[in-house]
Structure 1
Amino acid sequence: MNIPLRFINRSKDLGASEVVLFQRNVIPDFDELAIAWKVIRYCGHGCLHPFVYSTETEVSIGDDYGNYSPRLSADDGDCFTVSAHPTGRGRITRDPVPAHGPTGSDIEVANRMRRGAVNVNAYSAGRLIAAKQAVAPGQKAVFRFTPMLWIAAVSQVQEGHALNSAVLSSENTEFVLSGVTSADIVMTGGGGGAEAEPLRFALENVVRR
């Protein structure tokens, strides 16, 4: 399901602030990277930035040379296998009858190759939303997403790149999008000097199904 959203800047920063939207895998892993899914820059006071969040997920594999497999749609409970292609490179396929199915809404990508690690990527609305690096043979990447987004004011963050610990540990706002068909994300606060206020984010004009 696609959920149209609009970021609206009503802050006193006059477009100087940058914000990042990201999602957290419900199953955290030490080697997994939290990704800057959407970065909004230079949105002036009173201006808006429309975008779409999708509850549908795609997965692919990649390597350290910048090569990626075609993306496959992934529903809750789907299991995928990475096996060796005749060329020796890995390829990802849907496993119709997995030996050990994933739990509940988990999406699993298992590396069944004899050798060679792969990077496993998850996408929402065509943008990278989560990644697990160097999944070795016999290991698997497990994703579980809920319809939630986090937003934070940032600097020097690139869309599609890993977020550093400072961003993840800083104050950020969580939005639950379950049952939402459209909404506005409004930023207020900001400014400089003695009258400066923390930037705040709120969900407004929410339409629910």
Structure 2
Amino acid sequence: MPDVRLNLINRSEHTGKVQVVIGQFNKTLPERQAVIAWRVFNTQLPGENFAFSYPMEKFISVSDSWGNYSPQKNAYPGQLFSVENDIDGDILKYSAQAASPYAIEVVNRLEFGAIDANIYTDGRLLFVQKGVSPGKKVVFQFEPSIWIGVLSEVEEGRVIDAAMLAGNYTDLSLLDIEITETTIRSADIIMTGGGSSTTATSFQFHLENVIPY
């Protein structure tokens, strides 16, 4: 699927600095899960906008407790990767088809040592599963949707725990409503709400000017 072009537009009533954070859920994990701040936009004034793209292409890398990272590899739904030891050391390689055609899987086939499995898109960390023990497998499944919300003191690539995110986000589907297996071409993400008086409301997000393929 091609990239989805998005434009975040601040139409809120708020005039102070806020952080708009965007990420994705791993659909194989419980609803309350730690996530990654994939994109963070700092906005202060109504009328500001931030253009960015959401690529469908994913990359995978693994890391160990010493801070060593494997080179990133293209990862597509339906692929199983394994971490193994060979004469050059620990390597990440494509191994076989995954159990699900919709999932990216990683199995730790090392004798010793847990690994972290990292998923990237657009050159940024999208999701991480920490502490995958030898013999264990992690499964990633991402739907064409993003979560978006206003949070405080968040940096791109950092973990956001479930308690911090709970109730503070909106799910936005990037699927074409007429052709459900196809993503949209582009859309504006409109941010409303906020304010600093007794009439202030919670921040809300919705799509406008949706252009399908």
Q: Give the alignment's TM-score, normalised by structure 2.
A: 0.89
Structure 1 letter corresponding to 2:197: G
1:160 aligns with 2:157: yes
CA contact (8 A) 1:11 1:191 kept: yes
| Distance in 2, Cα, partners of 1:11 & 1:33 | 28
> Runs ≥4 in structure 1, deviation > 6 angstroms?
none
2:195 is aligned to 191
Q: Does the residue aligned with 2:61 lie in a helix, a strand or coil?
A: strand
RMSD of equivalent CA atoms: 1.8
1:136 is aligned to 133
Over 3 Å counting, the alpha-carbon distance change for 1:76 and 1:121 in structure 2 is same
**What is the deviation of 1:190?**
0.8
| Distance in 1, Cα, partners of 2:184 & 2:160 | 26
Q: Give the alignment's TM-score, normalised by structure 1.
A: 0.91
| Distance in 2, Cα, partners of 1:168 & 1:113 | 34
1:86 is aligned to 87
| Distance in 1, Cα, partners of 2:147 & 2:44 | 18
1:36 is aligned to 37
Equivalenced residues, count: 204
Structure 2 letter corresponding to 1:208: P
**What is the deviation of 1:165?**
2.2
After superposition, the C-alpha distances for 1:112-158 in whole angstroms (9 at most, x for unaligned) are 11111111001122211111111111011110111000001100111
Q: Does the residue aligned with 2:43 lie in a helix, a strand or coil?
A: coil
| Distance in 2, Cα, partners of 1:71 & 1:145 | 18
After superposition, the C-alpha distances for 1:61-85 in whole angstroms (9 at most, x for unaligned) are 0123332111111111001110014
| Distance in 2, Cα, partners of 1:107 & 1:87 | 25
Q: Does the residue aligned with 2:185 lie in a helix, a strand or coil?
A: strand
Q: Structure 2: 5+ residue runs without aligned partners?
A: 176-182
After superposition, the C-alpha distances for 1:53-111 in whole angstroms (9 at most, x for unaligned) are 111111110123332111111111001110014354x210011x45xx42121111111
1:200 aligns with 2:204: yes
Structure 1 letter corresponding to 2:94: R
Q: Structure 1: 5+ residue runs without aligned partners?
A: none
1:61 is aligned to 62
1:54-133, aligned counterparts within 5 Å? Answer: 54-88=55-89, 90-95=90-95, 97=96, 101-133=98-130
| Distance in 1, Cα, partners of 2:187 & 2:35 | 24
